[in-house]
Homo-oligomer: A and B are copies of this chain.
């Protein structure tokens, strides 16, 4: 696999641990020498965004587009970086989700989570919320493709 694809539904145990799907792990360890993972809240959806260190690089690049001491640059820094965490995987390939992450995505400590591949990053959703979002996205994607005449 070259991109994060497909969806996986995994269990969150009482300690807040979730197994990162093995295909995603393989992808992460290929990109970064170490198997770390950057996790943060999605800024416009009740979900979490995750990726390898290159995901963080993307955020940094975005910040460095703006000149030093520029107010918008400071806004970007304060609006993004403090909410990102670098999580390490345990020997079994699990990450531990903190309280604020669980809350943002509407996840519960013993419960379930859906991993959603999005090419260079992936998301973590509460199953019900993902179901709703997926239905909407499928419908809109279909309509868009039909409207363009492309199959």
Contact = CB atoms under 8 A, between A and B. Distances in A.
A81 B117 contact: yes
Interface stretch (A12-20, A89-97, A105-113, A140-148): A140-148
A86 B137 contact: no
Nearest to A85: B6
A119 interface: yes
**Oligomeric state, in number of copies?**
2
A7 B43 contact: no
Nearest to A115: B82
A144 B43 contact: no
A118 B69 CA distance: 13
A138 B81 CA distance: 10
Contacts of A76: 141, 144
Given A5-B81, A75-B141, A82-B118, 18 more contacts: A1-B86, A3-B56, A5-B84, A43-B145, A44-B142, A44-B146, A62-B145, A72-B144, A75-B137, A75-B140, A77-B119, A78-B133, A78-B137, A78-B141, A79-B134, A79-B140, A82-B117, A82-B134
Contacts of A142: 43-44, 79
Interface of A: 1-7, 23, 43-44, 53, 56, 60, 62-63, 72, 74-86, 116-119, 133-134, 136-142, 144-146, 150
A146 B83 CA distance: 18
A141 B79 CA distance: 6
A81 B83 CA distance: 26
